[in-house]
Amino acid sequence: MNRKAAYWIEMCDYDLDTAQAMFDAGRYLYVGFLCHLIIEKALKAYWSNVLEDPPLKIHNLSKLAEKTGLSQTMTDTQLAFIDTLEPLNIEARYPSYKDRLAKSLTPEYCQRLVQTTKELFQWIKDRL
């Protein structure tokens, strides 16, 4: 793993600890946001490790997975999870979505989000 990829992975580890802390505190809106952020940064780590150009400054997980080529090796379940995470980045930031989103982020749902994020993050790390 090169230095740039290691930086992204270090940030993922920090964000994963923060997502768990937010879960423990019952701050579920931020759990979803952080899970998105962890996978975004993991994809950018992979990008930094395998491609010459710097990662695109985007938040679209599907596009990042596609541009890195990882989407070709992901399972349907992993791709579906990316689709689940996709709106959590944007909707957590805007008040018009915040209330609706907050109602859907139950403790059980967030626990699954964190667990599945950990699994996908590890899967990406294993490919570095």
CATH at 103: 1.20.120.330
Q: How many domains does the chain have?
A: 1
Confidence band (pLDDT; 50, 70, 90) for 125? very high
Nearest to 42, CA basis, from 67, 6, 75:
6
| Distance from the first to the final alpha carbon of the chain | 6
Give CA–CA dist 1/82, Å, rounded: 23
Verdict on whether the full-model pTM lies above 0.85: yes
* pLDDT digits 0-9 by tens, 58-100: 999 999 999 999 999 999 999 999 999 998 886 556 666 777 7
Query: Domain residues for 30?
Result: 3-125
User: How buried is residue 63: exposed, middle or buried, by Cβ count under 10 Å (0-12/13-18/19+)?
Assistant: middle
What pLDDT was estimated at residue 98? 72
